Each structure stands twice: as structure tokens, then as C-alpha cells.
């Protein structure tokens, strides 16, 4: 099977490529990635000789067209993915997430290629901390940030292409991923690498915001489950019952790294900061038989911390510039 993986040099995409090569020896993998600040060949270290890596933009039809024509399946991970960046400059989010998805859909339609769309739980907006409900496939869309609005728009394009043109597509909307090769701008890698360089972790606002954590390998196994067994036109929510407040995550990172669990700073809150995300993944579990392999967040987090400890060469080059960017908008609160 020929698999075209967009964004395959980023966090989730590169882990997807590795897992695909591990579990599907017959797969021929092509990665299309623009190699933005978030993509690196280093994330494919050790598997580059088994992958065709094409540097190019998903919004460029001339690049996309022949690659899609040659594929049996397209798995679309490429995106601008960071909420804080979308608040500073939304423009690349609209181009990559909306125009990029449109460009792929048109190529997949022309060549009748199976398409899977990677999306996020953020399209559903947020929940109150005490709301007994969680997100399901029937929750109405209500995105809050430029990032989540651009992802919501891309989901709607996919659904329209299924209904209007009969595109053979599925969608998955996943909760917050953690694991190796996640950029140091994101919450967990930022705190782990802060501790490694002797800086204090940085918590936004009151820190009571809740995210629903899932290991990246569990997410990627879910993607293959949907590719193998999902029904065309359907959306599947992916989550591993991993709700935890940001404050508790930071305390756990500090504890696992042998530091005082209170040794962190409160910093300026994110504008429009979503309060809580929570996924009810019953459809994926019951209909398709998926379940996560990582039994506890603590176990997966400890392994992730080890990865950052032993891969300083991977994260170090981006650390200083990332923190310099944060310093422009975030102050430590008294």
C-alpha cells in the first residue's frame, strides 16, 4: 500500500511514519512536508532510508497533484498546530489548514484516492470544569481560537467533499497528544526542557484548565484502526480518558524529574484560553475495537521525560528562540 503522509516530519506525523514502518512492512511511505519551524528531518532519523521525503507545501496544487495521484491513501497531518502562534499571526493557519486541506481534497477527488483527515477535539470549543458531559461525535462545533476555527473549517470541507463528491474520506478528532518529538513550544515539552536547562516551568493563568492526554502511539494506532475498519464519511473521536489539570501535570513532571512539585511560575494567561477538553471515545472503542496501550499517563510521561533527557540534540536548537518568542507576551506573575 502506498501511503502519502502530509506533515510527516512533525510531531504526530513522524511518529505515525515510524509506527507504520514497524507494523506494516509492505507499506511504501511518502512524506510531504514544508519543513516549517515545526518539521525536521531529524524527527525521521533512522527511518529516512525507508521513506521518500518531499519538501513542499500542501497548499501548492502542482506539488500535491502527482503525489496524490500516485498514492493509495492520503493521511493528512500537516497543519499549523499551535494556539499561541495563531493568536500572534493567524494568517498561515488559514492558508495551511484551510487552503492546504482544500488542495488535497481536490486532488483526492480527481484521482479517487482514500483520504483520512487528522483533526482535534478543539473544534468543539470547551467545557466547564464541573460539566458532567464530554465531547462526542454529535457535539456541535464551537471553536474558540484562530487555530481551532481553521481546523473546524477544514473538517467541514472534508464532510462536504464526502457528501457532494462521494470522496472516500474519514475523520478523527483527537485530544491532546504527548510523547517523543513534540516541539518545545507545546506544554509538556516546554516544562520538561525548562527543568533540563535549569528554568522553572511556566503555568498559564490559574492552571486549573483541563486537557485530556493521550500518548501519540495510541492516537496513531487509532488512525490505522479507522483506515482499516472505519466507515466512509464518519468521524471518530480519539481519547484515552486522560483528563488532568495543567497544574497537576506540572507537579507530576517536577516530581518525576526529582524536583519540588511547587517549583513553577504562574505566567500571563492565553487570550480566550479554553477551560476544559474531554473526549468520550465510545464509538471508536465499541464500533472499531480500538483501545489505548498506555495504561497510565504517569508511565507514558516518565518515558517521554526520558526521551527528552536523552535527545537534547533534537530539542536544543529550537529552545532559545521559542522562549524568546514567549518572553514577548508572557510575564511571570507575582
Name the segment binding ligand NAD (CB under 6 A); options: 54-62, 102-110, 248-256, 277-285.
Answer: 54-62
155 is an active site residue: no
147 is an active site residue: yes
The upper half-sphere exposure of residue 155, i.e. CA atoms within 13 Å in the direction of its Cβ, equals 26
Q: Rule CB under 6 A: is residue 204 a binding residue for ligand TDX?
A: yes
Taking residues 111 to 140 in sequence order and writing x for each that binds ligand NAD by CB under 6 A, - otherwise, the string is -------xxx--------------------
Question: Of these, 40, 176, 193, 235, which contacts ligand TDX (CB under 6 A)?
Answer: 176
Work out the number of other CB atoms within 10 angstroms of the CB of residue 192: 25
CA distances from 161 to 87, 98, 109, 155 (A): 29, 13, 8, 10
* CB-CB contact of 27 with 57 (8 Å): no
End-to-end CA distance of the chain: 56
Distance CA(101)–CA(294), nearest Å, equals: 31
Q: What is the DSSP letter of 179?
A: S
Choose from ligand TDX, ligand NAD, none: what does 190 bind? Cβ within 5-8 Å by kind. ligand TDX
Name the segment binding ligand TDX (CB under 6 A); options: 100-108, 136-144, 186-194, 219-227.
Answer: 186-194
Question: Residue 204's closest CA among 158, 105, 272?
Answer: 272
Choose from ligand TDX, ligand NAD, none: what does 237 bind? Cβ within 5-8 Å by kind. none
Nearer to ligand TDX, 57 or 122 (CB): 122
Question: Residue 211's closest CA among 82, 122, 334, 303?
Answer: 122
Show which residues are catalytic.
121-122, 147
Using CB under 6 A, list all residues that contact ligand NAD.
6-7, 9-13, 32-36, 38-39, 57-59, 77-81, 96, 100, 118-120, 151, 174, 176-177, 183
Using CB under 6 A, list all residues that contact ligand TDX.
81-83, 120, 122, 176, 186-187, 190, 202-204, 209, 211, 246, 270
Amino acid at each position: 500500500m502506498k501511503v502519502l503522509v502530509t506533515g510527516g516530519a512533525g510531531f504526530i506525523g513522524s511518529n505515525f511514519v515510524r509506527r507504520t514502518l514497524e507494523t506494516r512492512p509492505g507499506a511504501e511511505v511518502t512524506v510531504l512536508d514544508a519543513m516549517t519551524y515545526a518539521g525536521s528531518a531529524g524527527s525521521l532519523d533512522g527511518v529516512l532510508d525507508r521513506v521518500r521525503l518531499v519538501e513542499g507545501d500542501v497548499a501548492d496544487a502542482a506539488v500535491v497533484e502527482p503525489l496524490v495521484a500516485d498514492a493509495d491513501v492520503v493521511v493528512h497531518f500537516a497543519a499549523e498546530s499551535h494556539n499561541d502562534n495563531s493568536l500572534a499571526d493567524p494568517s498561515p493557519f488559514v492558508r495551511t489548514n484551510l487552503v492546504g486541506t482544500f488542495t488535497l481534497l481536490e486532488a483526492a477527488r480527481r484521482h479517487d484516492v482514500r483520504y483520512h483527515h487528522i483533526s482535534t477535539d478543539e473544534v468543539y470549543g470547551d467545557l466547564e470544569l464541573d460539566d458532567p458531559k464530554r465531547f462526542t461525535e454529535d457535539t456541535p462545533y464551537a471553536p474558540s481560537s484562530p487555530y481551532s476555527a481553521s481546523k473546524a473549517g477544514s473538517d467541514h470541507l472534508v464532510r462536504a467533499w464526502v457528501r457532494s463528491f462521494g470522496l472516500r474520506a474519514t475523520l478523527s478528532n483527537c485530544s491532546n497528544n504527548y510523547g517523543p518529538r513534540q516541539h518545545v513550544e507545546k506544554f509538556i515539552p516546554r516544562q520538561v526542557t525548562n527543568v533540563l536547562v535549569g528554568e522553572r516551568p511556566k503555568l498559564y493563568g490559574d492552571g486549573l484548565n483541563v486537557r485530556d492526554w493521550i500518548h501519540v502511539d495510541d492516537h496513531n494506532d487509532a488512525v490505522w484502526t479507522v483506515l482499516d475498519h472505519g466507515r466512509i464519511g464518519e468521524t471518530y473521536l480519539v481519547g484515552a480518558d486522560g483528563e488532568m489539570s495543567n497544574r497537576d501535570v506540572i507537579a507530576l513532571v517536577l516530581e518525576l524529574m526529582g524536583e519540588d512539585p511547587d517549583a513553577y511560575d504562574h505566567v500571563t494567561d492565553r487570550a480566550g484560553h479554553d477551560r476544559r477538553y474531554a473526549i468520550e471515545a465510545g464509538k471508536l472503542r465499541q464500533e472499531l475495537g480500538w483501545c489505548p496501550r498506555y495504561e497510565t499517563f504517569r508511565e507514558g510521561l516518565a518515558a517521554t521525560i526520558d526521551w527528552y533527557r536523552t535527545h537534547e540534540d533534537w530539542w536544543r536548537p529550537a529552545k532559545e528562540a521559542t522562549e524568546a518568542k514567549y518572553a514577548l507576551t508572557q510575564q511571570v506573575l507575582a
